[in-house]
Amino acid sequence: MIYQPVDSNYLIKTYGEVFAEVQALIAHLKGLDLGPGSKVGLLSENRYEWLVAYCAASASGLVVVPLDPRLSPLEWTTILNHAEASLLFFSENFSAQALELSVTVPSLRRRIGWGPSIVNNDVQDSLSEIVKAGAADTVGPLPNSSGDSIASLIYTSGTTGIPKGVLLSQSNILHNAARMRRRGDRPGKMTLMILPLNHIYGFIGFLANVLYGQSVILFSKIDVRVILKTLQDLRPQHVAGVPAFYENIGKTIRKQLAEKLPKSLVPYLKGPAYRALGREPTSLRSLKKILFKKVHDTFGGRIEYLSSGGAPLEPRLARLFNLLGLPILEGYGLTETTSVVSANDLGSAHYRLGSVGKVCADSEVMVLNPDPSGVGEICVKGPAVMQGYYKNVEDTAAVFETEGWFKTGDLGCLDSDGFLFVTGRSKDVIVTPNGKKIFPDEVQSRLGDLPFVKEFVNSWGAKRSPRRRPPPRKRRWKGLSHRRY
């Protein structure tokens, strides 16, 4: 089932109901005479209709181009023109922008929108009307498509320059969704997703839950009060989010612990016991649940794990949530790798604090040109790696090494147990006159640990990447410059 908070209530859709709407939309798309491989834009906040549009278009042999709602109209125009999109899906919140895009993107022939205010006209269709009209129609045979058929074209840049469109196949997407399962996942459970569907991490996470028979909670906008209320109302077992959300919750928890704990115990929040209990996600978990019952109740009382991706998770934050008995399992991936490359999991053999976990099955990781400490550029190979950049042969060739290795541009290393650590971006490393390498991410992380620092701005000279990761303290990876998993 799909749950979506609407005002003070919830819109609830079963997967069967969603599938019926997908079938109706497929039948309608057949009549639009769009050729196989035609590009269709998708501009909407998170809502179940986003998923209906994506699934129907993909099943019809079309290539979906998800648009980030936070971008500007100029950036949407650049992307849709580059993709030569023929059709635009949109929510009523973007009606005015959709009308404008019909003018600025000459290739757009038709629009399909959803929401009470959307009505049919000569160049626009209402999804609700399509569902009503197509409920009794038969879908008929679908276009033949192989695993190599392009399913999605996701742009990693939407500036006025030429954007990079990542080509992801049906096989890329389904393969990664199928392997996102973590220990303990099973039908009947529920995941609360604080992730945008237009990002590959959010969409793959949704597909994974569908494959496992689990329910999903979606949010059209991020409102902490609504999220906390939903946690307590629906009591999910899993939460999928980004570090910024956990950071905000963590600051509140730290403040409350410091205020309510006896002063004699406050020093232990940074002592050896704290570090030891925060190192493992499952150690003494039943006791932690009793000690921090109020925190668990805030999350609904049934949380088994929280997952994090999209940006680096500070080890100090992971340690805090481990101490509370609410483990955050961090993963690593890029749009070009269809999201997940590696991920932590429950259990000491599958988790290491400060790492982004072990490399997923069927993928390989190589550390290219490692320095004496084992740090080099992370390269990935496997069935989840993209097909290339759309209309961009030069950049495609530049990011692939011989034998099909994709160069991520991220620096990292593997330890002796196969855990991957990300230390920063290759373009951001500062080399001093005496040859010493300084990782800005490490400096940034240390500044963030200072209690009297709330915000800071760096000026390293280049545009900053969102990835931040201090190098691991234990140098167990030395000499392991080329390991496959």
CATH 3.40.50.12780 is right for the domain spanning 2-163 = yes
Burial of 31 (0-12, 13-18, 19+ CB in 10 A): exposed
Residue whose C-alpha is closest to residue 121's, from 131, 80, 64, 129: 129
Is 454 in a helix, a strand, or coil? Answer: coil
Burial of 100 (0-12, 13-18, 19+ CB in 10 A): middle
Whole-number Å distance between alpha carbons of 38 and 17:
27
Residue whose C-alpha is closest to residue 48's, from 107, 5, 99: 5
Whole-number Å distance between alpha carbons of 325 and 479:
35
Asked whether the beta carbons of 34 and 50 are under 8 A apart, the reply is no
**Confidence at residue 389, expressed as pLDDT on a 0 to 100 scale:** 95
Query: For residue 102, what are the contacts with CB-CB under 8 A and spacing of at least 6?
Result: 88, 108, 111, 123
Intervals of the chain under pLDDT 70: 135-146, 157-162, 183-184, 261-277, 427-485
Query: CA–CA distance from 447 to each of 6, 165, 242, 437, 472 (Å)?
Result: 39, 35, 20, 18, 17
Query: CA–CA distance from 24 to each of 65, 91, 115, 129, 334 (Å)?
Result: 21, 18, 17, 10, 33
Cα dihedral across residues 378, 381, 382, 386: positive or negative: positive
For the chain, what are the domain ranges? Answer: 2-163, 209-449
Query: CA–CA distance from 153 to each of 97, 274, 333 (Å)?
Result: 21, 45, 17
Residue whose C-alpha is closest to residue 140's, from 295, 252, 26, 37: 26
Question: Which residue carries 């490399």 as its tokens?
Answer: 359
**Confidence at residue 279, expressed as pLDDT on a 0 to 100 scale:** 75
Asked whether the beta carbons of 69 and 79 are under 8 A apart, the reply is no
Angle between helices 73-83 and 95-104 (to 10 degrees): 50
Whole-number Å distance between alpha carbons of 288 and 269:
14
**φ, ψ at 26 (rounded to 5°):** -60, -45
**Confidence at residue 483, expressed as pLDDT on a 0 to 100 scale:** 34
Question: Which residue carries 């006209």 as its tokens?
Answer: 121
**Confidence at residue 252, expressed as pLDDT on a 0 to 100 scale:** 84
Whole-number Å distance between alpha carbons of 281 and 405:
33
> What would the two tokens of residue 416 be?
């002796």
Asked whether the beta carbons of 92 and 124 are under 8 A apart, the reply is no
Is 137 in a helix, a strand, or coil? Answer: coil
Q: Which fold, 209-449?
A: Rossmann fold (3.40.50)
Query: CA–CA distance from 382 to each of 248, 354, 403, 454 (Å)?
Result: 35, 24, 11, 41
Is 55 in a helix, a strand, or coil? Answer: helix
Angle between helices 224-234 and 243-260 (to 10 degrees): 80
Burial 150-170 (b: 16+ CB within 10 A, else e): bbbbbbeebeeeebbbbbbbb
pTM: 0.83
Asked whether the beta carbons of 426 and 409 are under 8 A apart, the reply is yes
**Confidence at residue 456, expressed as pLDDT on a 0 to 100 scale:** 64
Whole-number Å distance between alpha carbons of 199 and 68:
8
> What would the two tokens of residue 131 be?
């569902």
**Confidence at residue 15, expressed as pLDDT on a 0 to 100 scale:** 93
Residue 165's H or E segment, with its range, is strand 165-169
Residue whose C-alpha is closest to residue 154's, from 22, 339, 309, 397: 339
- The amino acid occupying position 97 is Q
Asked whether the beta carbons of 321 and 275 are under 8 A apart, the reply is no
Whole-number Å distance between alpha carbons of 329 and 326:
10
Identical fold at 2-163 and 209-449? yes
